Amino acid sequence: MNEFELIRRYFSRQPVTRADVALGIGDDAALLQPPPGQQLVVTTDLLVSDVHFLPDVNPAALGHKALAVNLSDLAAMGAEPAWFVLNLALPVADESWLTGFSTGLFGLAQRYRIQLVGGDTSRAPQVVIAIEAHGFVPAGQALERAGAKPGDRIFITGALGDAGLALRHRQGRLRLSDAEFALCAERMDRPAPRIEEGLALRAIASSAIDISDGLVADLGHILEMSRVGARLELARLPLSPAYRTHLAETGWDVALANGDDYELCFTVPPANLAALEKIKHRFPAMVDIGVIEADSGLRIIDAAGKPYTPKATGHDHFG
Ligand code: ADP
Ligand code: MG
C-alpha cells in the first residue's frame, strides 16, 4: 500500500455533505466557504506516541480522542464544528491499525458533522497525530478565557476525575471493580466533547475553558486572563459514584488536577443565572462549584470550611 492508496482507502471515505466545502480531499488544497457574519475558530492539538498515549492503545479510541480533544477546544469557544485537517506520521502502514483509527475518528466526526478536508501523511519513527479543527461563531460571541468578573458563579459541565481513576488503575496504583473501570476507561479513552453545552452557553457565560490539564490549572487560566481570583468549594465538586467509592484512598487531587476529563469550566454573571436555569434541564450534570472574587489566587475550601491545598496542580510538559 503506497501513500496515496493509504489516503484514499482510509481517509477519503467520509462523504462530503457540507455545502460549505467547495473542494475537499484530493487537490493541492481544500476550498472552503465560511458563512457570512461568522468568525472562523481555529484550534490544533498534537498527540505523540509515548508522550500522550501508549503505543498499544486501542486505535479506534485513539482516533476518537485525537478529534475529541480538538472538538473540546471548539466547545470551550462556543463554536459550531465545521472542518478539520489530519496530519499523520506513522512508522508502518498497518491495515488493522488504520481501520481502527479511521473508524474511531469518523464515528465522532459524523456525530458532529465535522468534515475532514485534507492533511498530510508521512513515515516517522513513532506515531504522531496532529489535527487542526475549524468551527464558526457569530462575530463577537465567542467564549473567551478572559471575561470573568467578581460575583460570577463558577460551573463545570460534569463529574471530574474519572479519567484519572482509569489511569491509576492502569498503572496499578488503584484497584477499581470491572464495572467502575469500564465507566472510567470510557471517560479516559473516548471523552465526549461538550459541543452542545458550549453552543448553549454563548449568550450566558462570561468566560469558559475546557478542562484538559486539570481544574486547578485550567480555572487558573481563566483567573489569570480575567485578572480575578476565586473561591472553590470541594463539597460542591461533582464526582461519579466510582470516585466517591474510592475518595478516601484517592483523595481530591485526582479530580482537581489530573485533567483528561474534557468537561467545560465556565463563569456566569448573576444577571444570567436565570437564563442558565432555563437550559439546565438539557444539561443536568452542570454544577455550581464556587464564585469569582476580586482577590487574585484560587482559594479551595473543604467540607469543614477549612482551606485546602492540592499537592498536584496540573499537567505541564515542561514543568
Ligand atoms: P501534497 O503533495 O500537495 O502534500 P498529498 O499527496 O500529500 O499532496 O495529498 C493529496 C491530498 O490528500 C490532499 O488533498 C491532502 O490534503 C490529502 N491528504 C493527505 N494526507 C491526508 C490525511 N492524513 N488525511 C486527510 N487528507 C489527507
Ligand atoms: Mg503531502
> 248-261: per-residue pLDDT in tens?
999 999 999 998 99
Tell whether ligand 1 has an atom less than 6 A from the beta carbon of residue 151: no
Residue 312: its pLDDT value, please?
75
Tell whether ligand 1 has an atom less than 6 A from the beta carbon of residue 27: yes
Looking at all shown ligands, the one closest to residue 25's CA atom is 1
Probe residue for ligand 1, chosen from 121, 122, 132 as the CB with the greatest number of ligand atoms within 8 Å: 121
The SS3 of residue 210 is strand
Amino acid at 198: G
Cα 117 from Cα 105, distance rounded (Å): 13
Q: Where are the alpha helices (DSSP H) in the chain?
A: 3-6, 59-77, 95-111, 162-170, 178-189, 195-201, 215-226, 241-250, 253-257, 273-280
Instruction: Calculate how far, in angstroms, residue 133's C-alpha sits from the geometric centre of ligand 1.
Output: 16
Looking at all shown ligands, the one closest to residue 84's CA atom is 1
Residue 62: its pLDDT value, please?
97
Instruction: Calculate how far, in angstroms, residue 41's C-alpha sits from the geometric centre of ligand 2.
Output: 24
Looking at all shown ligands, the one closest to residue 29's CA atom is 1
Residue 1: pLDDT band with limits 50, 70, 90: confident
Tell whether ligand 1 has an atom less than 6 A from the beta carbon of residue 120: yes
User: Above 90 in pLDDT, residue 313?
Assistant: no
Tell whether ligand 1 has an atom less than 6 A from the beta carbon of residue 118: yes
Q: What is the CATH number of domain 3-138?
A: 3.30.1330.10
Instruction: Calculate how far, in angstroms, residue 121's C-alpha sits from the geometric centre of ligand 2.
Output: 6
Domain coordinates of the chain in residue numbers? 3-138, 153-308
- The rounded percent of the chain whose pLDDT value lies above 90 is 94
User: Above 90 in pLDDT, residue 184?
Assistant: yes
The pLDDT tens digits of the residues spanning 270-298 come to 999 999 999 999 999 999 999 999 999 99
Domain 153-308 class in CATH: alpha beta
Question: Minimal CA–CA distance to 68: which of 39, 19, 104?
Answer: 104
- For residues 248, 252, 253, 255, the Cα torsion angle rounded to the nearest 10 degrees is 120
Name the residue with the closest Cα to ligand 1, atom 27: 119
Tell whether ligand 1 has an atom less than 6 A from the beta carbon of residue 98: no
**Closest approach atom of ligand 1 to CA 24:** 14
Mean pLDDT score of the chain: 96
Residue 146: pLDDT band with limits 50, 70, 90: very high
Tell whether ligand 1 has an atom less than 6 A from the beta carbon of residue 2: no
| Total length of the chain | 319
Looking at all shown ligands, the one closest to residue 10's CA atom is 1
153-308 has the same fold as 3-138? no
Instruction: Calculate how far, in angstroms, residue 288's C-alpha sits from the geometric centre of ligand 2.
Output: 47
Mean pLDDT of all residues in 201-215: 97
Instruction: Calculate how far, in angstroms, residue 117's C-alpha sits from the geometric centre of ligand 2.
Output: 13
Residue 319: pLDDT band with limits 50, 70, 90: low
Task: Output the CA angle 71-106-119, nearest 5 degrees.
Answer: 75
Instruction: Calculate how far, in angstroms, residue 135's C-alpha sits from the geometric centre of ligand 2.
Output: 23
User: Above 80 in pLDDT, residue 314?
Assistant: no
Cα dihedral 67, 213, 61, 242 sign: negative
Higher pLDDT, 71 or 54: 71
- For residues 294, 299, 304, 306, the Cα torsion angle rounded to the nearest 10 degrees is -110
Residue 59: its pLDDT value, please?
97
Residue 60: its pLDDT value, please?
98
The pLDDT tens digits of the residues spanning 22-58 come to 999 999 999 999 999 999 999 999 999 999 998 899 9
Contact residues for 147 (Cβ-Cβ < 8 A; gap 6+): 206, 207, 226, 267
The pLDDT tens digits of the residues spanning 96-145 come to 999 999 999 999 999 999 999 999 999 999 999 999 999 999 999 999 99
User: Above 90 in pLDDT, residue 65?
Assistant: yes
C-alpha cell, 177: 471493580
Burial class (CB in 10 A: 0-12, 13-18, 19+), 284: exposed
Residue 183: pLDDT band with limits 50, 70, 90: very high
Instruction: Calculate how far, in angstroms, residue 19's C-alpha sits from the geometric centre of ligand 1.
Output: 21
